[in-house]
Amino acid sequence: MADVLSQSQIDSLLSSLLNPEEAAGDLAEGGGGGDEQGVTGISPDKKVKEYDFRSPKLFTREQLKLLFGIYENYARIISGQITGTLQTHTLVEMLEVEEQKYYEFNNALPDSVLLGVIDFPVRGEEDEDNFMFMNVSKDIGFCTVDRLMGGQGAPLDEDREYTEIELAILEYFMRTVVSLMKSVWFEYIEVTPRLIKLETNARILQGIAPDDNVVIVAMSVSVNDTQGRINICIPASTLDEVFKVRAALSKKNAKKENLEAEERRRRHIMGNIYDTDLEMRGVLGSVMIPARDVISLEPGDVIRLDKGEDAMVDLTVEESVWFKGEVGVLNKKLAIEIKECLRGRKDS
């Protein structure tokens, strides 16, 4: 007979919706006709992330996977760009793409940051208020300034604010990095990202509510012995517009491909038809005569046709009259000049 749960185990399962930890203990201690070990819990070695059903995720795994692939290419591109700019070995690698609340991202930032506000307009959409944030860790920021000013690129030991000169240098550096984002999106949609401004205080940023969903693209950066991160924060409203435009373009491209395929098929069929041999005849006239007269015909006899002397000749294509013309001579051979088109293309 199959094992059944006792009433206490059933109650524990129902109460697990409110208190999972307490329910797991009740199930382990519960008796009855079930297994002595009760219901096995989750292995302590396995990482489990809580899911908040009151705040569901807005983007699917496929969409996040697409973003991961896009910014994986972006990481390779800016890795080469930063290497050339700083004249030292730089490695940028993708870490993860994760959807979370904006306040989680904002609370994880220190009070003093290097945060670039990026305008992210998408061609073909009405809403132009699309933007994203790019956060560069201080270690990478001060290392970049040190290299661009002729230093060895050593990280700064003390935590301090950026000076105005350092911010001007970093703004030039980040404008170059942000402009490269256009090339990785080009295959999917046409965007023209540009750096609007730099912020050093993440708490005063406007335009996004704390409870709004965002997608965080995390990348690790290594410049010689300096380790840091670049985090890109994309609001859900911006991604919604991006995926909406991409879906519309995909549908349009699919329709265009179907039309092109239909046009190729039509050309193929017409090409085969054009190569077909057709018999064309020039009919001077016709007459109905008895069979006995045909049998008695001899050289020199004259047959009277049903057309006058100045009447045009019928040109037939497979027994159908298509054209009318006049008889003449061309290069010492009989020929018919077409004067009237009865069927087919009028410009032929």
Give the count of beta carbons closer than 10 Å to the beta carbon of residue 114. 23
Show the domain range for 116. Answer: 61-252
Alpha helix (H) residue ranges in the chain: 7-15, 20-29, 61-86, 102-107, 138-148, 164-179, 181-185, 236-274, 291-295
Q: Are residues 9 and 142 in the same domain?
A: no
| Residue 39 confidence (pLDDT) | 45
Residue 270 lies in a domain: no
Looking at the fold, whether 13 and 113 belong to one and the same domain comes out as no
For the chain, give me the number of helices (H) and strands (E)?
9, 10
Could you read off the pLDDT of 199-252 as tens digits, one per residue?
988 888 777 888 889 999 999 999 988 899 999 999 998 888 888 888 887 777
Q: What are residue 340's DSSP bridge partners?
A: 324
Closest Cα partner for 242 from 94, 115, 72, 70? 70
Residues 137 and 37 in one domain: no
Assess if residue 217 is contained within a domain: yes
- In a domain, residue 190? The reply is yes
Q: Is residue 267 in some structural domain?
A: no
Which tokens in the block code for residue 64? 């996040």
Task: Tell me the pLDDT band of 171, cut-offs 50, 70 and 90.
Answer: very high
Is 65 inside any structural domain?
yes
Does one domain contain both 20 and 135? no
Residues 191 and 114 placed together within one structural domain of the fold: yes
The domain total for the chain is 3
How far, in Å, CA of 290 to CA of 223, rounded? Answer: 106
d(CA 217, CA 230): 8
Q: What is the pTM of this model?
A: 0.59
User: Is 264 inside any structural domain?
Assistant: no
In this prediction, residue 93 carries a pLDDT of: 94
The verdict on 66 and 152 lying in the same domain is: yes
